[in-house]
Every structure is written in structure tokens, then in C-alpha cells.
Structure 1
């Protein structure tokens, strides 16, 4: 059979390679401590689960959920957004329900880009950001997101000929994988750049609440673009509310961008089960204390693992946000990040994410997810220490 050329850039996936390495470790009888994926191991709040459970016996929730049936959820999003960020949102034209942020970042390029046009993406960045561009037939101009610039891209370095062909720019702060935070002034600069060059500004915002003590809250891009002239933002319930498996998220922002994404979505899928939407409404409008408990848990785990890794001689940085560590591979190790991670998991059962999976600038780094309890993280550090010896 013949397959479309657009699949070619998607065929190599380091996370699939890591999955195979984890399988080999399990087959060899090793317990896998999987710190390679950012899937929270914490539970959703009780009042969220109760709202979903209560929906199961209601046959009105059992049918297809089209756009208009999501109105209560969209209204809850608008109220929540104004409370949290001080920006008014029209629930009818400026909110769209999504099946995870990844749906938004993967489908929006189909609405914005014709083949050969350019998207500006961070390097390193979350892999789905580039996947959607490839499916749309677009080209990518990588924005180096490097430690020497506090992991912030430098817009002045983008050539004029690239700006002319660019249709969209994707940013994401707090940043996965580097854990960096961006101040509001950076978003104001990004908004101005995109306005001057007629570029849609896309902000992937899954870690908005995952900021640790001592750091200022993470700003929304719409606080820099209050008129929503050029911006769209994606928010998920996976991190703040520990609802990753429920696949519930939303987009907010410019009405034209929301409508374009809605048009793509309408020919691909419907929406989630309405019971999940009820649970998401409960999450937004109910007791918010579970968010701080989640953040405190990951901050405690961060402190435990940073200390444990430094005790074995791996001087990892202390992140201020997200649920990851981002560090150069140990100096004693000779090789690339993929070799380090595959050999580590096969030898010890400890799985980390190779930095090369996030882009060229990620080579030489690894990302470590804080998704196991403190005891398991200390055990993982000890195993890494034995491996390095």
C-alpha cells in the first residue's frame, strides 16, 4: 500500500523507542520506575468525581455532545477565566471545548496554514506542536530556546523573509521541557511582534498553576492581549486537576481563531461525554484547594529528588515550575541523551525522557517527571547512582 508523504516526519519518535526500551526492561524482570511521562499519579478531587458519577444515571448525558450542548461548560470557563486572570471572555465566541490541549495544537495548523507556509516553534518544545505543522504541510522555523537566554526565544533574531511567510507562533510557559517561566513583559513583546507581522500567537498553557513557592504566578497571554486581537490559549485539566485520563481541555481567545478551530473540529469529532463536562464544571467552580495540594506535592518531590541526585554527584538545577526536572546528562556519561536513557532503563528500570525527543536543542539533556512518590524517587536516584558508577 502507498501512504501519504505527510507521515514521513512522524515515523521516528524517540518516545516510542523509549517505550520499547521499557518493555525490554520489564521482560528482563526489572521493576520500571517510569519518570519519562508527565502523567500525574495524583487523584482527581472527590467533588469532581462525584459530579461525573452522578451523571451516569442520567440518560440525557448519554447522547452526542455537539457544540451547543457544551454551553454550560463554556460559561463556567468564562467565569473562571475572569476570576483568575481578570480578562472577560465571551462563552459563545471565545471558548471552545477540546479533547486535551494536544487536540488544539495539532488541529489549529489545519485552519491557519497552507502548504509551504511557516510556523515559529520553540526548540526544544512539546512534540505535538510540530506534529500538527507537518500534517498541515507547513514548514517550521525553530526558535532557539536556550539557557543563556533564560529559555526565552529572541524575536529580533527571526529573519525578515521568515516573518513574511509565518502564519503562527507557538509558545508555552511554564515551559515543557525546560521548566522555565516567562514574565508578562515577554508576552507583551510576543503580542507586539505578532501584531506587527500578522502572525497568530498560540499559547499552550497546561502548567499555568504548576508554579512553586517563591515565584510569581504564571501570566496568561490574554493578559498581554486583552482585546484578543491575535492570540489563542489552550488550558487542560490534566495537570491542575489531575484529570489527564478524562481528556478535557479548552481554548480561549480571538473569536476568529476559535471559529476556525471549531470548523476543523466539527469534521473530526464531537465532544466528551457530558458527565465529564459536568465534572470539569465542578472542578472550575468548586473548592480549589486541591490545586495547591497538588503543587505542594510536586514541590516536595522536586526537593527530594534534587537532593538525592546531587548526593550521587549529578548536579541538577532546581526548577521553579512544572512537574519536571530538566538537566544536562551527567558529565561522567559519554554519549547522547537517547543512549543514556535507553541504557539506563534497560540496566536499572529507571525511565527518563531523552532531551532529543523535544528538538535539536534538547540534545544532551534529559527530562525527569516527578510522577512517583518521594520514596520511589529516592530509589530511582540510588539506581541512577549505581548505574553511573
Structure 2
């Protein structure tokens, strides 16, 4: 049986290797503390679940959910955008419900790229962004994100030959995995660059609320108020702990929204209307539940930073996200995969190797702070023992 060439870059990755390693450790009977996946351990709030539960007995919610039946959700999303960022959008033409934002970011390249067109992605960056380009038979140009540039891409360094073949740029701040944030001025420069080079500007914005110490992350929509080149993706997974419910939405340029809607129409319907009712409740509520999420991950950040400092691993204190982005100890400085495989085999602690996020992620590992403080301290202690043994 023959398969499409586009499957080749999807067949193996370091995260599959990590999953196999976790399975081997679990099979041996050893406890695994999995800090490799950014899946929140916090529960969905009761008021959201109650709205979903109430819908179950409403038989009008049991059928297919077509675009027309999502108007209430689209209006709630548009109202949220206005309240949050002061940007007015049309819920009919500039908002599109999604089965999680990953669905949208993976499908949009199918609407924008012809075979061998380039997409400009962050390196390191979120792996599904790369997967969407490969599925569209496009080419990836990785924009290096370096510590000396505050993990922001330098647009002037993109080769002109690549730009001539490029159709889209994908950004995501607060950034996974580096935890970097971006200013409104940076987004304005990105908009100007993409306007000049006729690129669609895509911003994946899952960590809109997960910023700490009084910081506020601006929206791309504030830099492109007329939505000339921009589309932004939002999810209910991080702020509202609704990852398993798979609900998100896109907001932006009406032509980009229409193109994405055309792709979506031949791939899927929308999710269950009861889930959308829960999402409407979430978007319409106050910040009480969000503040709890932010405070929880801020506390975990501080606990883990302090615990790692105690074992001699100095890591910058991130201003955002649910992660730590840590430069590897010298003995493993150029092999993040080996470090993670050795660590889990010896201790049961699973981290994400930086190499899995792109070439410029090598030399780092990502911690996902998805356990309570006492477990994080235990993980740090085990890592300290592992590092002491490795350095001998």
C-alpha cells in the first residue's frame, strides 16, 4: 500500500520517543511524574459544567451543529474581544468557532499554501504549527528565537528568496516553549512587515491570561485594528481548563475567516452545542476562575524555580505561561533528547526535550508545571540527585 509523501515528516518525532520511554518506565512499576505535557491538571469550573449538563436534557442540542447554530457563541466571543482588547469585530464574518485552536492553526495552511510555498514559523515553536505546514505540502522557514533577542524573531534576517515564496507567518506570544512575551510595538512591526510582503499574519494565543506579576499580553488585533492581514486563535483550554472539551475560536480578517471556514466545512461540523453553552458562560463570566488559574501557576512557577535553584540549576523566572524553559547543564548541553531519556529512565521524571520544538530549541528542556507544589519539589529533588550522579 502506498501513502502520501506528506506523511514522511510526521512519522517520527522526539515526543513519540518520550512517550515510549514513559510507557517503559510505567511498565517497570516506577512512578512517573510527567512534566512533559502542557495539559492542565486543574478542573473545569462548576458554573461551566452546570451549563453543559443542563444542555444534555435539551434535545435541540443533540443534532449536528452547523455554522448558523453557533451565533450565540460567536456573539459572546465578539463581546469578549471588545471588552478585553477594545476591538470591535463582526461575529458573522470575523469570528469562527473551532474544535480547539489547534484545529484552526493546522487547517489554515490548507487554505493559504500551494505545494512548496513557504510559511515563516518560530524556531523553537509549537510542533503542530509545523505539522499543519507539512500537511499542506508547504515548506517551513524557521525564524530563530534566541535568548539574546528575547526570543523574538528578527524579520530583517529572513532571506529575500524565502520571502518571495512565502504566504504566511505564524507567531505565538506568550510563547510555548520559551515563555517569552511580546509588546504591542513588536506586533505592530510584524503587521507592517507582513503588509509589505503580502503575508497572512497568524497569531496563536492560548496563553492570553497566563501572564504574571501584573503584566498584560497585548493582542495582535490591537496592532491590526482593521484586520488587514491578521487572524488570531483563542482556546478555552488554558484559561478555563477546558482542554478535553475541545473548544476555541478564530478572530480576524474576514477573507482569512471565510477561507478557513471553507476548509472546515469539508472536514467537520462544530462541537456539541452544550459545550458551546459552557464556553459562552465562561466568556461571559468574571475573572474569578481565571485569577485562580493564574495564581496557581504563578505559585508553581515560584516553587519550582526555588527548588531548582536549591539543587544548583539556575533558571530565569518566566513572566508567562505554565512552563519553565531551562538551559541544560553542561554535561548534556548539546543533547536534550539524551538528557530527557536518561532522566526518565533513572528517576521517572519526564520533561520535554528542546530539540522537539525545533533546531534552535536544542540545549534546552521544557518543564510543564502541571502538578501541585509538593510534587514539583519532589521532582526537583530527584533531578538534583540525577545531576549529581551524572556529573561524577
Above 0.5 in TM-score?
yes
Give 2:55's aligned residue: 55
Deviations 1:128-163 (A, max 9, x none): 001011111111111001101000000111122221
Deviations 1:252-283 (A, max 9, x none): 00000000000000000000000000000000
Give 1:137's aligned residue: 137
Give 2:234's aligned residue: 235
Q: What RMSD, in angstroms, separates the aligned Cα atoms of the two structures?
A: 0.9
2:233 counterpart SS class: strand
Give 2:111's aligned residue: 111
Give 2:256's aligned residue: 257
Q: How big is the shift at 1:334? A: 6.1
| 2:365 maps to 1:372 | no
Q: How big is the shift at 1:333? A: 3.6
**Structure 1 gap ranges (5+):** none
Deviations 1:222-257 (A, max 9, x none): 100000000000000000111000000000000000
**Structure 2 gap ranges (5+):** none
Deviations 1:30-87 (A, max 9, x none): 1110100000001111110110010111111111001111110000000010000000
Deviations 1:93-123 (A, max 9, x none): 0000011111111100000000011100010
Q: Partners in 1 of 2:58 and 2:213 — Cα distance?
A: 42
Q: Partners in 1 of 2:289 and 2:368 — Cα distance?
A: 20
Q: Partners in 1 of 2:116 and 2:35 — Cα distance?
A: 37
Q: How big is the shift at 1:357? A: 0.5
2:137 counterpart SS class: coil
Asked if 1 retains the 8 angstrom alpha-carbon contact of 2:104 and 2:250, the reply is yes
The normalised TM-score by structure 2 is 0.98
Q: Partners in 2 of 1:208 and 1:335 — Cα distance?
A: 32
Give 1:248's aligned residue: 247
- The change in CA–CA distance for 1:367 and 1:334 in structure 2 (over 3 A counts) is closer
Report 1:31-180 matches (<5 A).
31-180=31-180
Asked if 2 retains the 8 angstrom alpha-carbon contact of 1:80 and 1:285, the reply is yes
Q: How big is the shift at 1:332? A: 4.1
- The change in CA–CA distance for 1:333 and 1:120 in structure 2 (over 3 A counts) is closer
Q: How big is the shift at 1:358? A: 0.2
Q: Which moved more, 1:283-292 or 1:373-382?
A: 283-292
Q: Which moved more, 1:131-140 or 1:184-193?
A: 131-140
Figure out how many residues of one structure are paired with residues of the other and give that number: 388
Q: Partners in 2 of 1:5 and 1:64 — Cα distance?
A: 34
| 2:225 maps to 1:226 | yes
Q: Partners in 2 of 1:212 and 1:331 — Cα distance?
A: 30
Asked if 1 retains the 8 angstrom alpha-carbon contact of 2:111 and 2:263, the reply is yes
Asked if 2 retains the 8 angstrom alpha-carbon contact of 1:230 and 1:254, the reply is yes
Asked if 1 retains the 8 angstrom alpha-carbon contact of 2:111 and 2:260, the reply is yes
* Structure 1 consecutive aligned stretches of length 4 or more whose deviation exceeds 4 Å: none
Asked if 1 retains the 8 angstrom alpha-carbon contact of 2:332 and 2:338, the reply is no
Asked if 1 retains the 8 angstrom alpha-carbon contact of 2:118 and 2:141, the reply is yes
The normalised TM-score by structure 1 is 0.99
Asked if 2 retains the 8 angstrom alpha-carbon contact of 1:47 and 1:286, the reply is no
| 2:300 maps to 1:301 | yes
Q: Partners in 1 of 2:113 and 2:333 — Cα distance?
A: 41
Q: Partners in 2 of 1:81 and 1:270 — Cα distance?
A: 24
Asked if 2 retains the 8 angstrom alpha-carbon contact of 1:325 and 1:369, the reply is yes
Q: How big is the shift at 1:331? A: 2.5
Q: Partners in 1 of 2:36 and 2:280 — Cα distance?
A: 30
Q: Which moved more, 1:330-339 or 1:82-91?
A: 330-339
